[in-house]
Amino acid sequence: MYEPNGYSHPNFLEPLERQGFVVLRQAIGEAQVSELLKFCSARFDSESQTAVAHSRTGHVVAARNVLDVLPELNDVWRHGHIADFLRRVLGAESGLVRVLYFDKPPERSWGLPWHKDQAIAVRDNSPPSQYFSRPTLKAGVPHVIAPDELLRKMLTLRIHLDEVTDENGPLRVVPESHLSSQSEGIGLGCHETILAQPGDVLAMRPLVTHSSGASQPGTTRHRRIVHLEFAASSTLPDGFHWHRFIPLVETNVV
C-alpha cells in the first residue's frame, strides 16, 4: 500500500524487521518498467559477458552479471522511492553488489525448493578465511558463503516487470525466518505467497526462507524479475572485497 510520506515511512520498515520482507507497491513507474523490459529483451542475447540460460524457443530464463549490459538499472535504484528506502534500511554508505534476472516463460517454467540466499560475489575467493566458506565460481565470478552477521546487514530488492499471480509461479516466503541461517521462522506451512503488479518491489533479507513453484500448465504469462542485492558497507572482513560495489550516493571525483 502506498504511504503519502514515501517508502522511508516507518510503516514500511517495521514489517521488514519483524518478518524479514515487505512489498513496496508501485515503487517504480510504468515507463521505467517498459524501459527495463525493452533493454532486457534487446541486450541479453547480444552481449557475451552476461551468462544467460535460454528456453528452447530462445527466451532468456536467467542471467547473471546483468549490470554489465544494463547500466540503466542505476537510474532506477539510485533515485526516487527505492533510494529513499535503501537510505533508511541500510544507510548512506550502502551499495549494490550483485544483479540477477529471472523469467518463467510460458513454455519453460521451473521451480526452486526452499532455501536461503547465502552466497555473495567477491573479487577473489582463494584466500583462507575464518568468515567465508565453500568457494565456488558462478558464470566466471568467484563466490563464497557469507556468515549470518554479514547477511543480516544485506537487503534484496526484486523488481517485478510482470503481473505475478498464482498462475505464473510466484515466490513463497516464510515470515520471521530471516534471523539466522538456521531459523525456520513460523514454519513452511505458514508461508506467504507474493503476488505483485508491474513496478512492485519485494524487499527481503537474504536469510528469509523462500521458494517458488512452476507456472500452471497452459499459462501465457511470463514472470520477469530483476533481482538486486545490496550491502550496508563497501568493506568485507579477512581482506576480502566485493566483486563489485556501486555506492548508493554517487561521488564526483574532480
The pLDDT, as a whole number, for residue 230 is: 98
The pLDDT profile of the chain, 254 residues, written as one tens digit per residue, is 333 345 555 577 899 999 999 999 999 999 999 999 988 888 776 554 455 544 444 456 668 888 887 888 898 999 989 999 999 999 999 999 999 998 888 877 778 899 999 999 999 999 999 999 999 999 889 999 999 999 999 999 999 999 999 999 999 999 999 999 999 999 999 999 999 999 999 999 999 999 998 888 888 888 999 999 999 999 999 999 999 999 998 765 43
Residue 153 · residue 233 · CB < 8 Å? yes
What DSSP element (H or E) covers 204? strand 201-204
Q: What is the pLDDT of residue 2?
A: 33
Single out the residue of 86, 45, 51 nearest to residue 66, CA to CA.
51
Nine-digit cell at 146? 557469507
- The pLDDT of residue 4 is 33
Q: CA 77, 78, 81: angle at the middle one, nearest 5? A: 65
pLDDT of residue 59: 55
What pLDDT sits at residue 54?
A: 43
C-alpha to C-alpha distance for 164 and 198, rounded to whole angstroms: 8
pLDDT value at residue 133: 97
Under 8 Å between Cβ of 197 and 30: no
Three-state SS for 21? strand
Q: Which structural domains are found in the chain, ordered by start?
A: 10-111+163-216+228-234 (2.60.120.620)
